[in-house]
Amino acid sequence: MDEDEEEYEDAVLDARRARWTATGTGALLALAGLAASTLRVTGSAPVLVPGAYAFGAAVCALAAVLGARGRTRRALWLLIAGVMVMALGDQFD
């Protein structure tokens, strides 16, 4: 096994790890956003707050799908955007 084959195998392993990380993080944040949205709907929060959590969760779910398909850069930016939307919705509470 020469050096080029080892580098190729390392790159494949890194790509696989990035896909799993993006998919897992997106799914976890989507579930957290949906849980927060459900809790805020049952409370006395304004309508904008659970809507922001739900929208942020949808964006994170889309990031999980993109991460599973190998679009990890786009998934990372969507994860950031989804969390920012959820944080912004929390400010209206």
pTM of the model: 0.87
**Rounded to whole angstroms, how far apart are CA atoms 82 and 40?**
17
Amino acid 4 reads D
Residue 1, pLDDT above cutoff 60: no
Is pLDDT at 2 greater than 80 in this prediction?
Answer: no
DSSP string of the chain, one letter each residue: --HHHHHHHHHHHHHHHHHHHHHHHHHHHHHHHHHHHHHHHHTT--THHHHHHHHHHHHHHHHHHHHHTT-HHHHHHHHHHHHHHHHHHHHT-
Give per-residue pLDDT as tens, 29-82: 999 999 999 999 988 878 899 999 999 999 999 999 999 999 999 999 999 999
